[in-house]
Amino acid sequence: MTSNKKITRQAVSLFHRKIKEAERIAISGHINPDGDCVGACLGLCAYILDLDPKKKVDILLEPISEKFRFLAYADHIMQEKTEEEPYDLYFSLDCSDKERLGAFQELFEEARFTICVDHHISNQGFGDLRFIDADASSTCEILYDILEEKKISFDTAQCLYLGIVHDTGVFKHSNTTRKVMEIAGALIDKGVRPDFIIDETFYKKTYIQNQILGRALMESILLLDGRIIFSAIKKKDMDFYGIESGDLDGVIDQLRVTEGVECALFLYEKTEGQFKVSLRSNGKVDVRKIAEQFGGGGHVKAAGCTVEGNVRDIVNSISPLIDQQLEQGKDV
What are the DSSP calls for 171-227, one per residue?
A: TTSTT--HHHHHHHHHHHTTT--HHHHHIIIII---HHHHHHHHHHHHT-EEETTTT
1 pLDDT exceeds 60? no
Strand order in the sheet with 228-233: 221-223, 228-233, 263-271, 274-281, 302-308, 297-298
Q: What is the pLDDT of residue 3?
A: 58
Residue 9 three-state SS: helix
Helices (H), the chain: 9-21, 35-51, 105-110, 139-146, 154-167, 178-188, 194-198, 207-218, 235-241, 251-256, 287-292, 311-328
Number of neighbouring beta carbons within 10 Å of residue 257: 11
Q: How far is CA 207 from CA 64, 241, 320, in A?
A: 20, 11, 36
Q: How many CA atoms lie within 13 A of 97 on its CB side?
A: 10
Reported as a single tens digit per residue, the pLDDT across 228-240 is 999 999 999 999 9
Domains delineated in the chain: 9-202 (3.90.1640.10), 207-328 (3.10.310.30)
Reported as a single tens digit per residue, the pLDDT across 274-319 is 999 999 999 999 999 999 999 998 888 889 999 999 999 999 999 9
Average pLDDT, the chain: 94
Q: What is the pLDDT of residue 299?
A: 83
Q: Work out the average pLDDT over 179-192.
A: 98
CA–CA separation, 213 and 208 (whole Å): 9
Confidence band (pLDDT; 50, 70, 90) for 196?
very high
CA–CA separation, 284 and 282 (whole Å): 6
